[in-house]
Amino acid sequence: MLCNSSNAPSAGSTLEARSFDANKCLPRTPLGWLQLSHEKSRLLVALSGIAFADVLMFMQLGFQSALYNSNTRLNRSLNTDIILVSPKARNIQNMSTFSRRRMYQTKDIAGVSSAEAMYVNIIDWKNPQTRKKKSIQLIGISPKSSAFNLPSVEQQLHLTELPDTFLFDRESKGEYEKVIPQVEQGKVVTTEIEGRTIKIGGLFSLGPSFAADVNLITSDDNFLRVFPRQKVSSINLALIQVKPGYDPVEVAKHLKDYFRKFNDVKVLTHKEFIQFENDYWASQSPIGFIFGLGTAMGFIVGTILVYQVLSTDVNAHIKEYATFKAMGYHNRYLLTIVLEEAFILALLGFIPGVIIPMGLYQLTRNATNLPIYMTLARAFTVLILTLIMCIISGAIATRKLQSADPADMF
């Protein structure tokens, strides 16, 4: 029952009075929920569509986050305050070289404590287990440096002083079930890089990225043996440590002013270096655009599905809505019924929509070793998108109510 008899409009009441009294009935009966629950099959179809759209958005946002996190792993693992790179560098896998002299010149700036050279490049190697070639990321650094904040690297970096000895990333993506246990047992594991036989002397943990399945770390001398065409005087990165008591941002500003006259080196703080990598994958790489487009497509698909359900519901009850208008209810009240349905669909559809991706994230993480996890911020983002999606659908579906004339319904 919508109204008490005391609230029902009398025969002599004006239309405004009847509308006022009728609108008092709004909180009395949850018409939106009653209409949705009356058609169980339609409700399940709507919830399935919303859950599907949510899963699609969760997966796209999860892959996008994994893209950024995995490709900045190396950047974030560096123990440095300031980094020098070539202005031509695009990202960590596409580094150009610059003169080692620039690294030495940083000592002319007050606050610079030390500077170390690093080499980074992509190369093919032969998987010692399957004998198949894979693309890997090779990193060269002085064995006496403290360039990484990874304990497993710092404890074993001295092993790379031996010729053709490398550290292998135990979290690498691929079939390495036999390689890692053999290294852990102290056995010598050999493979080939560019026709050169190398030895795996130790293991560290970093993880794969979208650009490289495998990471290897070795000394700068071993790196240059693998890349004989690269000159010793040309480096890919310069890692600069700032003296205690100095602000890295201020020192970086002085370095930028100092190197501006040469215009052949770019100065970045550690935070800017991480953002430098993020910006490449977000704006210059097609992968970032694809994941963003996938999220937008999920939103659009969900909007269409919810609109179809709500539009069908409005059409099925158009005579009832017209009766409400004849009784004196405003269009605003009728719109709230449809928006109530949209809000309920959003909340109920979000529940399976957030549970299913948790399992899919786990499955993806086990298969690829990519850092894809459910986060509270992402769940909140998708919930807001779901509410907006359903509200837009509800607003579009209510357009027919505006023109519903009780005289045309009977």
Task: Identify the pLDDT of residue 4.
Answer: 44
Residue 333 has pLDDT above 70, yes or no: yes
Q: Report the candidate in 154, 139, 137 with the shortest Cα–Cα distance to residue 79.
A: 154
Task: Identify the pLDDT of residue 409.
Answer: 55
Average pLDDT, the chain: 84
Confidence of residue 384 (pLDDT cuts 50, 70, 90): very high
Q: CA 135, CA 216: separation in Å to the nearest integer?
A: 11
Task: Identify the pLDDT of residue 224.
Answer: 92
The CA-based angle 270-275-277, given to 5 degrees, is: 100
Domain boundaries, the chain: 25-69+287-409, 87-264
Q: Report the candidate in 6, 324, 270, 4 with the shortest Cα–Cα distance to residue 148.
A: 270
Residue 407 has pLDDT above 70, yes or no: no
Where b means 16+ CB within 10 Å and e means fewer, 184-216 reads eeeeebebebeeeebebbbbbebbbbbbbbbbb
Confidence of residue 269 (pLDDT cuts 50, 70, 90): very high
pLDDT digit string, tens, across residues 279-290:
998 888 888 888
**Does 4 or 408 have the greater pLDDT score?**
408
Q: Report the candidate in 143, 139, 141, 101 with the shortest Cα–Cα distance to residue 123.
A: 139
Residue 2 has pLDDT above 50, yes or no: no
pLDDT digit string, tens, across residues 186-240:
888 888 887 788 899 899 999 888 878 889 999 999 999 999 888 889 999 999 9
Q: CA 184, CA 128: separation in Å to the nearest integer?
A: 15
Residue 18 has pLDDT above 50, yes or no: no
Most confident of 134-138, 237-241, 313-317: 237-241
Residue 255 has pLDDT above 60, yes or no: yes
- Sequence letter at residue 140: G
Q: What percent of the chain has pLDDT over 70?
A: 89
Residue 5 has pLDDT above 50, yes or no: no
Confidence of residue 404 (pLDDT cuts 50, 70, 90): low
pLDDT digit string, tens, across residues 65-89:
998 988 899 999 999 999 999 999 9
Task: Identify the pLDDT of residue 177.
Answer: 66
Question: Global pTM?
Answer: 0.78
Average pLDDT over residues 141-150: 90
Task: Identify the pLDDT of residue 195.
Answer: 78
Lowest mean pLDDT of 112-116, 289-293, 330-334, name the range: 330-334
pLDDT digit string, tens, across residues 21-38:
444 444 556 777 777 777
Residue 132 has pLDDT above 70, yes or no: yes
Task: Identify the pLDDT of residue 23.
Answer: 47
Task: Identify the pLDDT of residue 166.
Answer: 93
Average pLDDT over residues 249-263: 93
> Which H, E and C letters describe the chain, residue by residue?
CCCCCCCCCCCCCCHHHHHHHHHCCCCCCCHHHHHHHHCHHHHHHHHHHHHHHHHHHHHHHHHHHHHHHHHCHHHHHECCCEEEECCCCCECCECCCEEHHHHHHHHHCCCEEEEEEEEEEEEEEECCCCCCEEEEEEEEECCCCCCECCHHHHCCHHHHHCCCEEEEECCCCCCCCCHHHHHHCCCCEEEEECCEEEEEEEEECCCCCCCCCEEEEEEHHHHHHHCCCCCCCEECEEEEEECCCCCHHHHHHHHHHHHCCCCCCEEEEHHHHHHHHHHHHHHHCHHHHHHHHHHHHHHHHHHHHHHHHHHHHHHHCHHHHHHHHHHCCCHHHHHHHHHHHHHHHHHHHHHHHHHHHHHHHHHHHHHHCCCCCCCHHHHHHHHHHHHHHHHHHHHHHCHHHHCCCHHHHC
* Structure-block tokens of residue 91: 């990202």
